[in-house]
Amino acid sequence: MDVLVLVGRVVFALLFLGSGYGHLAQRQMMAGYAAGKGVPAANVMVPLTGLQLLVGALMVALGIWPDVGALLLVAFLVPTAFVMHGFWAETDPGAKAMEQTQFLKDLALAGAALVMFAVFAYLGDELGLVLVDPLFTLS
């Protein structure tokens, strides 16, 4: 079971590691896109959220307070869904469909991260193959 959970944590984190890296490596392009979506201080927010993604993903994958890492990912995903992927404001059917897919993907990933948080916090020090046990306790 421990190995299965570890593999799941690492596979889940891969998406966020790539995205976090993209936020930093393609900062200018992403900041322009974010500014176009109305994000204030996009030049600051893009690298900050990139670091948030990297830290959260590494915490989940490596098992360093993985519950906190999962919450960091939720804290990125939910606002991003609403701010960056407002499909309801699109008039072009193709753009609307694409934004709706991205919106739902972000919410689905947020749901998965919340489940991970709950499992990590519930298992506590019984969660195997971690460097630092979960910080929160649910029973």
**pLDDT tens digits for 103-137?**
999 999 999 999 999 999 999 999 999 999 999 99
- Cα–Cα distance for residue pair 70/58, rounded to 1 Å: 10
- Cα–Cα distance for residue pair 77/57, rounded to 1 Å: 12
- Cα–Cα distance for residue pair 27/104, rounded to 1 Å: 24
Residue 68 is encoded by which pair of tokens?
A: 């906190």
DSSP sequence for 58-83: HHHHHTBSHHHHHHHHHHHHHHHHHH
Question: Tell me: the pLDDT tens digits for 60-105?
Answer: 999 999 999 999 999 999 999 999 999 999 999 999 999 999 999 9
| 73 burial level (CB within 10 Å; 0-12, 13-18, 19+) | buried
Q: Would you say residue 139 has pLDDT above 90?
A: no
Nearest to residue 15, comparing CAs of 112, 88, 135? Answer: 112
> What number of CA atoms fall less than 13 Å from residue 49's CA on the CB side?
25
pLDDT at 129: 96
Q: For the chain, what are the domain ranges?
A: 1-123
pTM: 0.96
pLDDT at 136: 97
| 41 burial level (CB within 10 Å; 0-12, 13-18, 19+) | exposed
Q: Give the pLDDT band (50/70/90) at residue 34.
A: very high
Angstrom distances, CA of residue 113 to CA of 16, 30, 44, 78: 11, 24, 25, 11
